[in-house]
């Protein structure tokens, strides 16, 4: 389109003027020169405008993608760019949106996985990149069992929804305290929790970590 407006149309006009000059040799050559010069100036102006618009139509979407990449580098994954058309630039925009959606899904799975097995365990699993070491490892670990005293009496005297709310608040505190001491909650069983320190991430003083968590 830019070539048609900036080059094709003026060239066609010049060719038509040249053909008219050949067909009518009696025409004043100055008129032909003026007409050719006018078309040349128009061609330059239109070509400059068309080239500027074409460059802007490519530069602006690429600039939007570049800014969106900068936001992702800062940790903001909730970003997307509008897909303008089906050109190569549009394919670039669509590819960026697919990449951002994949990163958001990966972060969501990482968050869910971390809630179930602990953030350190989840990160260790991601760092392993699917590599499984058979035979296990020998580690010095410490284990803490946490239980609610009088939970049976509590469950009998309070409505179920209130019991669930209390247990959720209790487990939230347990998880926070255990993670502060570099441990993780292996499992929840009723009103109890099994907390592990020193595995899968080795700790120089797993027993000390467990004791500090228990004292909290």
Residue pLDDT, tens place only, 66-81: 888 888 888 888 888 8
Task: State the pLDDT at residue 142.
Answer: 92
Residue pLDDT, tens place only, 74-111: 888 888 888 877 677 778 888 888 888 888 887 777 67
Please, what is the average pLDDT of the chain? 76
Token output for 111: 């968050």
Residues 82 and 165 in one domain: no
Percent of the chain with pLDDT over 70: 65
Task: State the pLDDT at residue 26.
Answer: 60
Does residue 137 register a pLDDT over 70? yes
Residues 18 and 83 in one domain: yes
- Averaged over 36-64, what is the pLDDT? 72
Q: Does any domain span residue 122?
A: no
Residues 84 and 144 in one domain: no
Task: State the pLDDT at residue 81.
Answer: 85
Residues 148 and 94 in one domain: no
Residues 27 and 88 in one domain: yes
Task: State the pLDDT at residue 4.
Answer: 54
In this prediction, residue 45 has a pLDDT band, given cuts at 50, 70 and 90, of confident
Residues 44 and 89 in one domain: yes
Residue of 125, 108, 119, 123 lying closest to 184 (CA atoms):
119
Q: What is the domain count for the chain?
A: 2
Task: State the pLDDT at residue 78.
Answer: 84
Report the alpha-carbon distance of residue 205 to residue 56 in Å, rounded.
61
Q: Bridge partners of 189?
A: 192
Task: State the pLDDT at residue 131.
Answer: 61
* 200 preceded by a cis bond (ω within 30 of 0): yes
Residues 159 and 80 in one domain: no
Task: State the pLDDT at residue 9.
Answer: 60
Q: Does any domain span residue 119?
A: no
Tell me which of 19 and 46 has the higher pLDDT. 46
Q: Does any domain span residue 55?
A: yes
Percent of the chain with pLDDT over 90: 3
Domain of residue 150 covers 137-215
Domain end marker among 88, 108, 128: 108
Q: Does any domain span residue 159?
A: yes
Residues 70 and 146 in one domain: no
Token output for 113: 């996985």
Task: Please identify which residue in the block is written with the tokens 């590599």.
Answer: 131
Residues 153 and 72 in one domain: no
Task: State the pLDDT at residue 151.
Answer: 80
Tell me which of 131 and 47 has the higher pLDDT. 47
Residues 73 and 9 in one domain: yes
Helix (H) or strand (E) segment spanning residue 185? strand 183-189
Does residue 1 register a pLDDT over 60? no
């Amino acid at each position: 389109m830019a070539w048609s407006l900036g080059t094709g149309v003026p060239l066609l006009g010049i060719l038509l003027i040249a053909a008219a000059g050949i067909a009518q040799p009696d025409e004043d050559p100055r008129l032909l020169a003026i007409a050719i010069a006018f078309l040349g100036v128009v061609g330059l102006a239109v070509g400059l405008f068309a080239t500027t618009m074409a460059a802007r139509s490519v530069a602006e979407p690429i600039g939007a993608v570049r800014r969106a990449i900068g936001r992702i580098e800062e940790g903001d994954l909730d970003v997307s760019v509008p897909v303008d058309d089906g050109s190569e630039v549009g394919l670039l925009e669509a590819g960026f949106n697919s990449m951002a959606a994949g990163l958001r899904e990966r972060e969501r799975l990482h968050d869910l996985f971390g809630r179930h097995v602990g953030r350190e365990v989840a990160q260790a699993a991601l760092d392993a990149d699917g590599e499984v070491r058979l035979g296990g490892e020998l580690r010095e670990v410490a284990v803490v069992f946490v239980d609610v005293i009088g939970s049976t009496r509590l469950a009998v005297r309070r409505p179920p929804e209130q019991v669930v709310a209390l247990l959720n608040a209790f487990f939230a505190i347990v998880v926070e305290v255990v993670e502060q001491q570099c441990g993780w909650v292996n499992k929840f069983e009723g009103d109890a929790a099994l907390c592990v320190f020193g595995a899968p991430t080795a700790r120089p003083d797993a027993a000390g970590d467990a004791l500090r968590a228990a004292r909290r």
